[in-house]
Structure 1
Amino acid sequence: MTLRVAVVGAGPAGIYAADILTKSEADVSVDLIERLPAPFGLVRYGVAPDHPRIKEIIKALQRIIAKPEVRLLANVDLGNDLKVEELREFYDAVIIATGAMADRDLNVPGEDLKRSYGAADFVSWYDSHPDVAQTWDFGDGTHTAVIGVGNVALDVARVLAKTADEMLVTDIPPQVYAGLKSKKITDVHVFARRGPAYAKFSPMELRELNHSPNVEVIVHPEGFEVDDHSMEHIAKHKTHKLVLDILANWVGRDLEGKPHRIHLHFMESPTEILGEDGEVVGLRTERTELVGDGSVRGTGQFTDWPVQSVYRAVGYASSALPDVPFDSRNLVIPNEGGRVLDLDGNPIPGTFVTGWIKRGPVGLIGHTKSDAAETVGHVLADTTETATARTTDDVDAFLRERGVDFITIEDWERIDAHEISLGEAEQRLRVKLPTREQMIGAARDA
């Protein structure tokens, strides 16, 4: 008998789980259930638009969702359109792969001031996420701060610093271009609590920071400290050594006088976002010092930086789902190797989890694949009960009865083709459709 599995979330984690299921020896049928009208998750809505090479992974993901054993049911929202317990009526197993889209808090005073932003919100805006506002308030400020030393922080800093015309070759729609055109930012200050040996940038992302003809990257020598533990650390992590070498080559180099600047500040820990009349007017940081074990401590030396906005890029956070256990401290669904656990720590039959909502928002695509393999192994080993209503017609009829206007793979291909045609008209690869209404209209050829 065919094993029927629902995978909730059509980002990389969910799609890789579907792929591994279809490559197993079991006879399987997989439905990818996605809240948005488009698949691919953070690859579509979390990668900066000026990084088309990273988005090449979409081609591989597209081939997976086009497999005959896999169906796409997008524009279906778990919790509003249907419940997990209802899914169990149609599927032998449910794998939750909803990822992480929210921002982690910085937990400093002033975080709620106007123009204190979470990086994930900004990324969603410039990536034209259909559930966010179409406008962005840059204000009139010329200086801004980005807090964090990961690739998201670099993406945010680069988009803030580059001109709108530089971004116009990407897939941004007109309202994102207009928003970027309105910003007056000349200087972007990126702050890291630790030293350069512990920066989490990838070497490729860091090098690309320096490619813009309009943006100068300045690595400030203050705080550029490397101790014995730092050297031991980079000896064990090749990418960290490459990053440190790039940064070291940029310290003290001659400036070219470009109109926009990205400043990298190490050993500066944000302690307060400063405000006046409810708006950001500065950022206060404390100089830190290396302790010798990879950690840092404050020195009591504070600096106030006159910035007019702050972007917090300190990590993504997963969100709870209705009627699914959630660990609010670690921001994951409690699980053991992908088996979802109830409040007593016992596995919930037929319910599994994979991706960032399983292990937290860390790791790259390779980790996601191995993560999915572990979960799928438990699905195949544990699933013995069978669902009652087992056909695809049963699922489709249920959704239509609920009034759910779901998007199939054929619908998505029409959306995809429409975006590509918009791009061709402007000699670009594509132009994104920014709203649900436009996407669904393209799916229906309206």
Structure 2
Amino acid sequence: MGDTTPSTSNVVVAQPSVVDQAQLWIGRQTALPNSWRCNLIGGLEFLSHFGEALFEGRISTRSRITRLVRMADLPAIEGGHTPNPGAGHNNDYYPRPRRSSGFGQTEEGEGTPLAPVDQTDSRRPVAIVTGANSGCGYETTKALLQAGYFVVLACRSALAAEHAMDRIVQETDLRHMTFMELDLASLESVQGFVEAYRRRGWPLHVLVNNAGIMNTPYARTADGFESQWGVNHVGHFVLTMGLLPVIKRTVSWSPSDKQGNEKRSSFARIINVSSVAHVSEPNFDPAVLEDPAKYHPLVNYGMSKLANICFTAELSRRLAADQDLQGHRRITVNACHPGPVSTGLYRYTPGLSKLGTLLDMILLSPAQGALTQIYLCLAPEVRDVSGVYFFDLEPRATSETARNVQVQKQVWDYTVRQLTDKLPQAKDWA
């Protein structure tokens, strides 16, 4: 099926479980209708995690997150300061955002930043988490704060971000965070976010592309993309590519020892949240994205998650040559699957949305779902790992389609073509 060379050859992929093998096999059964493949793969996913959700215990998940925070591998900061994990109880950077009537607009229409923080704490690395106000994004934000990061909550709603930050302060007494408005369904909003971030002159060490929608009724974004494709893939593609110059500038600095020899450079991590739903797509078919008559909520969701993995692999390849003098990658890009998590994503899924409290018992908690992306943000053992798909803290096999280099390039090229007539800078991403 073409070139399926892994992006990082020294990574040992975990032995697929029986469920993994069954899901991958179902994904290859092209004779089955697309919707059948999606439902069978999803059903296996629920069954495989039923025991974990009920019996693993959420206390053990919290303890695993705490260990990751304590062992966090933080990048060196220009100026010689090293962040202190868990520090910042007395810092007061968190401002209360004013109500928004659009990107960068307050109720009074002053056009000032919604969360007017002029500078971050120079002792801290900086992270951006999309969809940080709830679910896995919320738990990831808390863990990054506890590890010592200054965190930008990139969310659609100022009110939701305000409530999330209030909760975080109550739960952790940590305040080194701020909010910036981001609507991934609008290229204007994504570009506005990137431009506002660049103007602030902040570095960027961790980007967590966490936000997403699933199984939604057919709709188009403001720019004409099918909504799941536009939010889950295109919005994050434009956000990442727009912030990449900031990330590259951040990692261009390297500390030196007393003799002036370069030590390990600063580094950055990009994490794309994907899903096992990608295995339901045996081919990348643009017609599914362009023809409303071909729309199926689960099929289009799976296509967007396939694109997340292809984008991860192709971007990792393009950044492979960016190394420090010791041959270490300055920027890594990885994808992960959170598992079936109790978040708002299931509100459009027929049948499941009616289960209420029972559904919450069956599904993983947001903390359980966030564990792998927190691991990819903080763990020292994955600092040099890039272009890999993770689940449950382990590298996992993707579908043959997702690891096909030609498909990865096809997804990249198709995305750039879609953007060329909408964003002048898109031609530079080809």
Range of TM-score over shorter length:
under 0.3
Q: 1 or 2, which has the higher strand percentage?
A: 1
TM-score by length of 2: 0.27
